[in-house]
Chains A and B, each alone.
Chain A
Amino acid sequence: MAEFAHSSAEDSALVRASQRGDTDAFEELVARHRDKIYARAFSMMRNEEEAIDLSQEAWVKGWQRLVQFQGDSSFATWITRIVINLCLDELRKQKRRRTESIEEMDEESGGVERQMPVVTTNPTERLERGELRQRIDQALAQMSNEHRTVLVLHEFEEMEYKEIAKAMDCSIGTVMSRLFYARRKLASLLADLKQ
């Protein structure tokens, strides 16, 4: 009976119940949004195991910080921001562990992409949805973490340049440059894959 009530309740009611310590209500929230949270973690990390771990960590943090949730945004948006921040932290840790300089590599690659001829074909018109998805997925996998992240935050999370700069701890100019490079790289990869 209680389970049925949870499954038919709105997110806001489940959040209020969770804030009172109802873990069954929180489990329902997890069940509803787990695919989206996992998908966002996967889009940033490109690693299934890491995405699962980080998404679960996000849910635990969400539970711990639930009292701070005031309903200014939707619950889904709020928990998505938590998983994004966890992914950004993890990517920073991974970057520190890497010996190569991503910044230098980015500048070199970006220079090439800026001079690339404009792609005039529209991939959404030529490809089936499933195929388009698959090709974009492959293209995202080929990008560096920095370029993929800026693309995810801007295109999927609709964050402004300054918000991304703050989240990624870089300048607005760097965000613009990375975003431009990532878009052009994606356009070229989709064009290549089509041929």
Chain B
Amino acid sequence: MTEEQQLKVQAFLDGELPESEGQEVAAWLASDSDASALLGELKNTRAALKEFDSPATAGVKLPESREFYWSKIKREIERTTPVAAPAPKASLFHWFRRVLMPLGTLAALALVAVVAIHSFSGGQHPMPMAANVMLGDPGALTYRDDAQDMTVVWLSYPAENKFAETSSGDTLSPK
């Protein structure tokens, strides 16, 4: 028997031949004792392997306890699973930043507006002052009094930038 014929017997057993070729091989197997004997051996081997791997006879047991085996898996799962970032703690500082800072900014704006209106209504200076809110930084306000030749910069507490950290609060700067 050639190698090709041997592999055909095997493919026939495994159901890997097209239907027409399968019929041809079946006819050949019926008339060739060597081919038929080979088919028998392959069938026996396959049956032995099925018996070997069947759940009823499977004797291979994991040589570790359930707890020990799982502990390593769990540790690896915890190590590789991304942990969600913990929610920030609600502290007085965070409450201050979230609530009081905007309120402080609004209060400062209101103060500047009141001073500006008051000065304007006095008639002594048509546009004596200019209030300038630095929109890019809601924590800082600039107040300019041309009559007094003075600029006031209001920085909200707490300090959030390097300049503010080194400053004591309101800053006066000459023209």
Interface residues of A (CB under 8 A from B): 23, 26-27, 30-31, 34-36, 38-39, 42-43, 48, 52, 55-56, 59-60, 63-64, 114, 118-124, 129-130, 132-133, 136-137, 151, 154-156, 160-161, 176-177, 179-180, 183-184, 186-187, 190
Q: In the complex, what residues of A have CB within 8 A of residue B14's CB?
A: 154, 161
**Option from B10, B11, B70, B81 in Cβ contact (under 8 Å) with A183:** B10
Does B37 contact A118, Cβ atoms closer than 8 Å? yes
Q: A122-B47, A183-B10, A187-B45 are in contact. Are A39 and B60 (CB under 8 A)?
A: yes
How many contacting A-B pairs (Cβ < 8 A)?
120
Q: Which residues of A are found within 8 Å of B37, using beta-carbon distances?
A: 118, 120
Task: Specify which of B41, B51, B60, B63 is in contact with A119 (CB 8 Å cutoff).
Answer: B41
Listed by A's residue number, 8 A-B pairs whose Cβ atoms lie within 8 Å are A26-B77, A27-B74, A34-B62, A35-B61, A52-B69, A64-B81, A114-B6, A130-B59
Q: Nearest chain-A residue to B35 (Cβ)? A: A118
In the complex, chain B residues whose CB is within 8 Å of the CB of A122: 44, 47
Kindly state whether residue B134 has any CB partner on chain A within 8 Å: no
> Whole-angstrom distance between the alpha carbons of A156 and B49 in the complex?
8
On whether the beta carbons of A64 and B80 are closer than 8 Å, the reply is yes
Q: How far is the CA of A136 from the CA of B47 in the complex (A)?
A: 12
Residue of A nearest to B59 (CB): A133
Task: Please tell me if the beta carbons of B10 and A136 are within 8 angstroms of each other in the complex.
Answer: no
Q: Are B10 and A48 in contact (CB under 8 A)?
A: no
Task: Known A155-B50, A156-B49, A161-B14; judge A120-B40 contact (CB<8 A).
Answer: yes
B145 at interface by CB-CB < 8 Å: no
Q: Could you list which residues of chain B lie within 8 angstroms of chain A, going by C-beta atoms?
A: 3, 6-7, 10-11, 14, 16, 34, 37-38, 40-42, 44-53, 57-64, 66, 69-70, 72-74, 76-77, 80-81
User: Which 7 pairs across A and B sit closest by C-beta, in order of nearness?
Assistant: A39-B60, A38-B62, A155-B49, A118-B37, A122-B44, A136-B52, A156-B53
In the complex, what residue of chain B is closest to A152 when comparing beta carbons? Answer: B53
Please give me the residue from chain B that is nearest to A63 by CB atom.
B77
For A190, the chain B residues whose CB sits under 8 A away are: 45, 48
A187-B11 in contact given A34-B62, A124-B51, A129-B57 (Cβ < 8 Å): no
What residues on A are CB-neighbors of B57 within 8 Å? 129-130, 133
Give the residues in chain B near A180, CB-CB below 8 Å. 6-7, 10
Question: Contacts of B45 on A, CB cut-off 8 Å?
Answer: 123, 183-184, 186-187, 190
Interface of chain A, main secondary structure: helix
Least Cβ distance of A123 to chain B in Å?
5
Please, which residues of chain B bring their CB within 8 A of the CB of A48? 63
Partner of B46, one of A59, A63, A155, A161: A155
Q: Which of A52, A124, A137 has the most chain B CB atoms closer than 10 A to its own CB? A: A124
Minimal beta-carbon separation of A44 from chain B (angstroms)? 12
Known contacts A30-B69, A187-B42; 10 additional CB pairs below 8 A are A27-B70, A38-B60, A43-B60, A119-B41, A122-B44, A124-B47, A132-B48, A155-B53, A184-B45, A190-B48
Q: How far is the CA of A63 from the CA of B70 in the complex (A)?
A: 13
Least distance between B3 CB and chain A CB atoms (Å): 6
Inside 8 A of B66's CB, which chain A residues have their CB? 31, 34
Residues of chain B within 8 A (CB-CB) of A38 are 60-62
> Residue among A34, A118, A130 with the most chain B CB within 10 A?
A118
- Known: A23-B74, A64-B80, A161-B16. Contact between A186 and B41, CB under 8 A? no
Taken together as a complex, chains A and B put the C-alpha atoms of A190 and B41 apart, in Å, by 11
